[in-house]
Amino acid sequence: MLRNHAFTCNVKADTGDGNRIGTACSKDDISIVQGATAPLPNGIPSYRVQILNVCVSGCSMSNIHVNCGWFSSTRLINPRVFRRLDYDDCLVNDGEALAPGETLSFQYTNSFQYPLSVSSVACC
C-alpha cells in the first residue's frame, strides 16, 4: 500500500547513532516487521512486510533506506513502495515521507526471508 502526502520536509539526515538529544527523529522511529504468509501455489514461500513510523513526537520521515542484501522477489513489488537500489540498499516509499503513525506494507516471495533493517532516514 502506498500513501501519498502533500507536505514537504526540511530534511535532516539521521543514521541512528542512538543520540536523540537535539534531533526530532531517529532511524529507530521506523519499525520493520515481517513474517511468513501462505506460500504461492508452486510452494515458494511468501512474506508480508510492514514498515511503520512509530515516532511519538509527531515526526515524519523521508528517504528511508533499508539494509536488504541482494533483495529480490519472484513476485513483482511496486518499485514506488520498495525497491533495491544497490547491494544492501533498498528505498522505501519512493523516498517520500512516511507520516507519524503511517504504515506501508508489501508482500514478497523468495525461498528465504531477507533480514531487513533501517540504515538511514531523513527527518522532516
Q: Is the pLDDT of residue 101 over 60?
A: yes
Of 39, 99, 109, whose CA–CA distance to 76 is shortest?
109
Q: Is 72 a domain residue? A: yes
Terminal CA-to-CA distance of the chain, rounded, Å? 21
Q: Is residue 64 part of a domain?
A: yes
Instruction: Please give the C-alpha separations between residue 67 and each of 34, 89, 104, 115, 123, in angstroms, as whole numbers.
Output: 14, 5, 17, 8, 18
> Does the residue 62 lie in any domain?
yes
In-domain check, residue 9? no
Residue-number span of the structural domain to which 54 is assigned: 32-123
Q: What percent of the chain is predicted at pLDDT more than 70?
A: 81
What was the pLDDT predicted at 21?
38
Average confidence (pLDDT) over 57-61: 91
In the chain, what percentage of residues exceed pLDDT 90? 76
pLDDT for the residue numbered 8: 41
On whether residue 13 sits in a domain, the answer given is no
Model confidence at 23: pLDDT above 70: no
Sign of the four-CA dihedral 17, 20, 24, 29: positive
CB 122 within 8 A of CB 59: no
**pLDDT above 60: residue 54:** yes
Asked if residue 47 lies in contact with residue 36, where contact means CB atoms within 8 angstroms, the answer is yes
**pTM of this prediction?**
0.82
What pLDDT was estimated at residue 4? Answer: 40
∠ CA 43-48-51 to the nearest 5 degrees?
Answer: 160
Number of domains into which the chain is organized: 1
Judge whether 24 lies within some domain: no
Q: CA 108, CA 48: separation in Å to the nearest integer?
A: 7
Q: Using the predicted structure, report yes or no on whether residue 121 has a pLDDT greater than 50.
A: yes
Q: Is residue 65 one of the residues assigned to a domain?
A: yes
